[in-house]
Amino acid sequence: MTGEIPMAYLTKKQQRELFIDEFLRRLREAPAGTRVYMRVGDVFRDADVVSIGELRAAREAALVRDNDDGKEEDTSR
C-alpha cells in the first residue's frame, strides 16, 4: 500500500461524466428515431437551474449588442 486513501465514491462531476458517456453510448447504439431514456437520479441535483425566459433575454441582448457596431442601420426596407 502506498499510503494513499482510495476514493470509495465518485464526485458529482465524475458521476455526470459517466452518465453522459453512457447516455451518448446508448444514443449511438439505438436505431434511428428511437427514444433513449435513462434514470437521472440526483446526478444533476446541484446543477444550475436557469429560467428559459432569462436565457432568451440574455441571448437577445447579446445579439442586439453584437449588431450595434456604431453604424446606423438601413431601416428603409
Q: Flag whether 4 is in a domain.
A: no
- Structure confidence by residue, pLDDT tens digits, 29-46: 999 988 888 887 777 777
Can you give the pLDDT at residue 74? 56
For 51, the 3-state DSSP assignment is: coil
Segments in the chain below pLDDT 70: 1-3, 7, 47-49, 65-77
Which three cell numbers mark 75?
A: 431601416
Q: Flag whether 30 is in a domain.
A: yes
- Give 2-22 as a 3 state SS string: CCCCCCCCCCHHHHHHHHHHH
| Number of independent structural domains in the chain | 1
Q: Flag whether 46 is in a domain.
A: yes
Torsion sign, CA atoms 58, 63, 69, 75: negative
Can you give the pLDDT at residue 69? 57
For residues 41 and 44, give the distance between their C-alpha atoms in angstroms, rounded to a whole number. 8
> In angstroms, what CA-CA distances link 11 with 19, 42, 72?
12, 12, 52
Domain that holds residue 62: 12-67
